[in-house]
Amino acid sequence: MSADSQDHHEDHDHVLPFWKKYIFSTDHKTIGIQYGLSAGAFLLFGFFLMIVMRWSIAYPHEPIPGYLSWIFTDGWKARWLDDGMVTGETYNMFGAMHGTIMVFLGVVPLGFAAFGNYVTPLQIGAPDMAFPKLNMASYWAYLAGGLIMCMSFFMESGAAKSGWTNYSPLAGYADRQIVNQFLAGQTQWLIGLVLLITSSLLGSVNFVTTIIQLRAKGLTWMRLPFFVWAMLVTGFLLLLAFPPLEAAGIMQLMDRVTGSSFFMPSGLFSKEDGVLDISGSGSPLLFQHLFWFLGHPEVYVLLLPAIACVAEIIPCNTRKPLWGYKPMVWSIVALGFLSFVVWAHHMYLTGMGPVISTFFQTTTILISVPSVILLTSMIISLWGGSIRFTMPMIWAAAFLPMFGIGGLTGLPLAFNLADLHLHDTYYVIGHFHYVVAPGILFGLFAGVYHWYPKMTGRFMDNFLGHLHFWPSLICMNLLFFPMLTQGMAGFHRRWYNGGEGYIEKGTEGINVFGQTVAENISLNEVMTGAAIGLAIFQLPFLINMVVSYFWGKKITSDNPWDATTLEWATPTPPGHGNFTFDPAIYRGPYEYSRPDHDKDFFPQWEEPKRSIPAEEPSEKPDKETTEA
């Protein structure tokens, strides 16, 4: 490739200055770790907001305790708390930002950007991402967007407070009292969002290009690890679903800054301002459509990286191939495609007619088919395996039933008839938190424990791992299962005081709803306790991350798990440019326990030693992937 030698990327053989190596790095591994650490910090912050909210739900008349309130300044408390108690306004603000942070700043960057960045190029045998500088720009746009959103907590207006979905007209109207709209939290949210979308677009272009262009010799489509397939599909989801939300974000920004009425209907009235000084004729529903056009694919953007991690960890720790690799690949492609046409199931209650509701109901049920194929394949993969219960495997194993609960509780919500009752209740909250928290986050924890040795050269501590895992598993279930119960009892998802206003006090009352609220309201305390417990038991993990980096058990080979995929062929940790040899691929990704091979794993990059001449690795896509 003589022409490519003109490549003017810096020659990285010499030592880079600190800021270039660790801060403004173009190395996909450094960027991946940057993403991971930033996302982790955002996750903790989002979790903290949630604990304050849960306090308010369980103890609406008690000031938030010192161990939560020490972080706030006196001025902040005076502005946003009512004698130390959480106000409805503050609760809304925290709720909106909890959702935003967890989805846009936490889980997506952790799953897609951190793991994707670190692992994908290694697994396909690439020296780096296809566009390293774009990769860096992507990270910094993400960080800037996230910080801008979070900084608004310190403004007079406070941060955004209209839900993470930011529905107009509420979101178009909130913070109107701020004269300079650019200094309003609600506006900052939109500016932050536009930056985050920019970051995602840069990232997804990069991922897809890298996967398509930089695969190693012989790494044909059906030899790609499932992880890479998941990243490819995720990349496409972000690429095509985010722009309509960017359009919506810009339109809402116009509504706020220029006073336009994209999403503001005619005749809007507020107590403070009377009939608003706007032209009207806009459509709040339009915003919802454009939001959920992203919003639903975004669910799969959250989910696929976690499934991807689990799908790597299971074969490695059961020492047998991933069951149904090909159906899984086709499922994930189908899932990605279908996820674009299901979005309005979030909007059954907006007055859509029966025909279109039926359409979206049908597509929603359809999409459960590939989801079930994925999960079932992974469960069957366990069958007959000689399972090593390593730390990653324990997390991955817990992912399966937890995600199962999350997925199955979604089915009633897919039917518009059942959704009439369950919409906007805690049932919905319980459902998607089961998907995201004990589901996706467990999958990602599994990933951390799995790839940590590759990143640092040391294992994470097992004892601390168990101390992290078991209490987390218990607390997660104590936290989220009661939500399903409460939801069916009619608890609305936005009650900042846990529903106390709805309690029917007499036992003979005719207010059945008030009685079910009274019967289930004490669960609030259980859930709040579980949330605090969950927070405490993340400490072992944080300690583990740091302690193991310095004192963890050292790995003895570059492939400590005896895995088959290409990332384990690199030095540990991989240097700039990743590989010390020109990787070539000879077989599929999960060749474990082959009877014709002496070891119980047969890495993709290992040249066959048998007398039969190996199939020449070729660059041509090869549908028939099984080795001769």
Partner 1 sequence: MEIPFIVNARKDTGLFNSKVGIWLFLASEVTLFGGLFSGYLFLRLYADYPWPERALPVLPGLINTFVLIGSSVTVVFAWAALKMREWRKFQIYMAITLLCAALFMVLKGIEYNAKFHHQAVQIEGPGPVQGKGIIEGHVHYAEIKDGKLTEVKDKDRYHDEGVFPANRILIKASELTFVLKRPTHEAYVKEILKQAGDDYKITLAKDYRVPDEDELHEGGKNRVQLLASGKALVADAGSELSIDLLEEMEDSFLEARSHDKDIRTDFLAASWDWIRDEKGDDDLSTYVVEKDIWKERRKEDAKKFGPLMLSAPGEVTFKVDPPLILVMKPGDIPQFSKEQVKFRDDTVVKGEVLPSPIIMGVDAIDFRHTAMRAEAEGIEPMKAIEVSWILTHTDSHGGNDLKKAWNCHMAWLKYQTERLEKEGRVPSDNDKYRVNWDEMVAYQKLDLDPEAVYKAAGEDALYHSSLFDLKGFAGANHNEFDFPHVEIPRENVGFESTLTPKWNTYYAIYFTITGLHGLHVIGGALVLGYYLFFGRKMYDSNPEWLANRVEVGGLFWHFVDLVWIFLFPILYLM
Partner 2 sequence: MAGSIEEVKKAKKLFMFIGLLLFFFTIVTVMVASVEWLDFGGHGFDAVDATIGLAIATFKASLVMLIFMHLNHERPLIYLFFGLGLLMAFFCMWLIGWSKSDPIQFGNPNSSDGFYNPDKPSTESHH
Residue 354 near which of partner 2, partner 1, none (CB within 5-8 Å, type-dependent): partner 2
532 binds partner 1 (CB under 8 A): no
**24, 80, 340, 415: residue in contact with partner 2 (rule CB under 8 A):** 340
Residues 274-333 that bind partner 1 (CB under 8 A): 274, 276-283, 286, 289-290, 293
Shorter beta-carbon distance to partner 1: residue 382 or 478 = 478
User: Smallest distance from the beta carbon of 270 to partner 2, in angstroms?
Assistant: 26
242 binds partner 2 (CB under 8 A): no
| 567 touches 116 (CB < 8 A) | no
| 319 touches 600 (CB < 8 A) | yes
Residues 371-390 that bind partner 1 (CB under 8 A): none
DSSP helix, strand, coil percent of the chain (3-state; round to 5): 65, 5, 35
285 binds partner 2 (CB under 8 A): yes
236 binds partner 2 (CB under 8 A): yes
Q: Which amino acid is at 126?
A: A
**Run of H or E residues at 326:** helix 325-338
**208, 303, 334, 475: residue in contact with partner 1 (rule CB under 8 A):** 208
Shorter beta-carbon distance to partner 1: residue 362 or 522 = 522
Rounded CA-CA distance 421/412 in Å is 10
User: Smallest distance from the beta carbon of 240 to partner 1, in angstroms?
Assistant: 5
User: Smallest distance from the beta carbon of 336 to partner 2, in angstroms?
Assistant: 10
Cα pseudo-dihedral 12, 13, 14, 15, rounded to 10: 70
**124, 136, 141, 201: residue in contact with partner 1 (rule CB under 8 A):** 201
Maximum pairwise Cα distance, the chain: 87
179 to 218: interface string for partner 2, x by CB under 8 A: ---------------------------------x------
19 to 58: interface string for partner 1, x by CB under 8 A: ---------------------------------------x
SS3 250: helix
Rounded CA-CA distance 163/175 in Å is 14
Angle, in degrees to the nearest 10, between helices 88-100 and 28-58: 150
12 binds partner 1 (CB under 8 A): yes
From 160-168, 171-179, 304-312, 412-420, give the range in contact with partner 1 by CB under 8 A: 171-179
Residues 239-278 that bind partner 1 (CB under 8 A): 239-248, 250-251, 254, 258-262, 266, 272-274, 276-278
SS3 242: helix
Count Cβ atoms within 10 A of the Cβ of residue 94 and give its class: 0-12 exposed, 13-18 middle, 19 or more buried: buried
Chain-centroid distance, C-alpha 625: 32
Rounded CA-CA distance 48/50 in Å is 5
Shorter beta-carbon distance to partner 2: residue 289 or 576 = 289
78 binds partner 1 (CB under 8 A): yes
127 binds partner 1 (CB under 8 A): yes
349 binds partner 2 (CB under 8 A): no
**43, 96, 122, 241: residue in contact with partner 2 (rule CB under 8 A):** 241
Q: Match 């897919």 to its residue by tokens.
A: 414
From 240-248, 453-461, 470-478, 491-499, give the range in contact with partner 2 by CB under 8 A: 240-248
Sign of CA dihedral 186, 192, 198, 202: negative
Question: Considering CB under 8 A, how many residues would be counted as binding partner 2?
Answer: 22
Q: How far apart are the first and last CA of the chain?
A: 30
**12, 21, 217, 289: residue in contact with partner 2 (rule CB under 8 A):** 289
User: Smallest distance from the beta carbon of 348 to partner 2, in angstroms?
Assistant: 11
| 143 touches 38 (CB < 8 A) | yes
- Which pair of tokens denotes residue 106? 């936490």
353 binds partner 2 (CB under 8 A): yes
**19, 67, 70, 74: residue in contact with partner 1 (rule CB under 8 A):** 74
Distinct helix (H) and strand (E) counts, the chain: 23, 4
149 binds partner 1 (CB under 8 A): no
DSSP collapsed to 3 states, 153-203 = HHCCCCECCCCCCCCCCHHHHCCCCCCCHHHCHHHHHHHHHHHHHHHHHHH
φ/ψ (deg, to 5) at 335: -60, -45
**134, 170, 341, 387: residue in contact with partner 2 (rule CB under 8 A):** 341
From 172-180, 357-365, 456-464, 560-568, give the range in contact with partner 1 by CB under 8 A: 172-180
Residues 109-128 that bind partner 2 (CB under 8 A): none
Cα pseudo-dihedral 598, 602, 605, 608, rounded to 10: 40
Residue 301 near which of partner 2, partner 1, none (CB within 5-8 Å, type-dependent): none
Cα pseudo-dihedral 453, 459, 465, 468, rounded to 10: -50
Residue ranges binding partner 2 (CB under 8 A): 212, 236, 240-241, 244, 285-286, 289-290, 293, 340-341, 343-344, 347, 351-356, 359
